[in-house]
């Protein structure tokens, strides 16, 4: 789930960047904060760090002995992404193996769906291996799957999460792309020029008025 979190942080500005006027100082604090934020990548409690949204406050700077840097305590808001046990999410299959598939959801690449948690699905080997159900529903690369999270693990060294998910439950499993855009066959296509005027997109509306891009 995506979260909006307010966080306190200490931003350290090296002495060389300090001889500027007030506004420039604030700018270097913001730049430094965003750099630190991107480097940190994720924490166990808050999940993956996506983007800083607002800077709430900058406190008084404190000079650090020995280095001459100045430390500014700041409070800011940001968006993070964290997987919760019991949560239902949608992800995309990116690897199919004999005993399960790996899914990608947002910034998380290592989401594992074991064959034990795919009731009614059987592995079908081949150049493009798939899992096939009795009702001929297919789980293969690039398919969107709705799953429930049964466990998560934080890897300190890589600073990332892994998750174990399952299809055991109602309304879980592959979601066909045509369900996201219902009755895709009956589209009216128009060519539209995207706002930045450097590319053309084919745009249509399906029967439910949803915009479909190809």
189 binds other proteins (CB under 8 A): no
What is the end-to-end Cα distance of the chain in Å, rounded?
28
- Taking a C-beta distance cutoff of 8 angstroms, is the pair 38, 105 a contact? no
Q: Binding pattern to other proteins, positions 101-140, x when CB under 8 A? A: ---xxxx-x-------------------------------
Interface with other proteins (CB under 8 A), residue from 45, 60, 134, 156 = 45
Residue in the block written with tokens 């949204």: 53
Characterise 162 by phi-psi region: left (phi > 0), alpha (psi -120 to 50), beta (else).
beta
CB of 21 to other proteins, least distance (A): 21
Nearer to other proteins, 70 or 163 (CB): 163
The footprint of other proteins on residues 59-88 (CB under 8 A) is 79-81, 84-88
Interface with other proteins (CB under 8 A), residue from 51, 63, 155, 201 = 51
CA angle 120, 123, 128 (to 5 degrees): 130
Complete edge-to-edge strand list for the sheet that includes strand 138-139 = 121-124, 130-133, 138-139
Measured CA to CA, the distance from residue 18 to residue 13 in angstroms comes to 7
Summarize as ranges the residues that interact with other proteins (CB under 8 A): 1-7, 38, 41-42, 45-46, 48-51, 53, 79-81, 84-90, 104-107, 109, 146, 169-171, 180, 208-211
């Amino acid at each position: 789930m995506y979260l909006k979190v307010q966080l306190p942080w200490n931003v350290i500005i090296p002495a060389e960047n300090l001889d500027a006027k007030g506004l420039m100082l604030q700018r270097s604090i913001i730049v430094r904060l965003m750099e630190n934020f991107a480097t940190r990548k994720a924490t166990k409690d808050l999940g993956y760090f996506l983007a800083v949204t607002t800077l709430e406050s900058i406190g008084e700077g404190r000079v650090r002995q020995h280095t001459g840097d100045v430390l500014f305590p700041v409070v800011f808001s940001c968006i993070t992404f964290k997987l919760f046990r019991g949560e239902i999410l949608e992800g995309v299959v990116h690897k199919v193996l004999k005993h399960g598939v790996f899914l990608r959801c947002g910034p998380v690449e290592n989401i594992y769906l074991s064959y034990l948690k795919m009731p009614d699905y059987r592995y079908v080997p081949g150049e493009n291996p798939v899992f096939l159900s009795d009702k001929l529903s297919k789980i293969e690369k690039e398919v969107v799957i709705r799953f429930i999270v049964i466990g998560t693990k934080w890897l300190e060294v890589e600073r990332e999460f892994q998750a174990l998910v399952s299809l055991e439950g109602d309304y879980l499993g592959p979601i066909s792309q045509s369900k996201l855009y219902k009755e895709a066959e009956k589209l009216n296509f128009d060519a539209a020029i995207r706002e930045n005027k450097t590319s053309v997109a084919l745009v249509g509306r399906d029967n439910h008025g949803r915009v479909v891009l190809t």
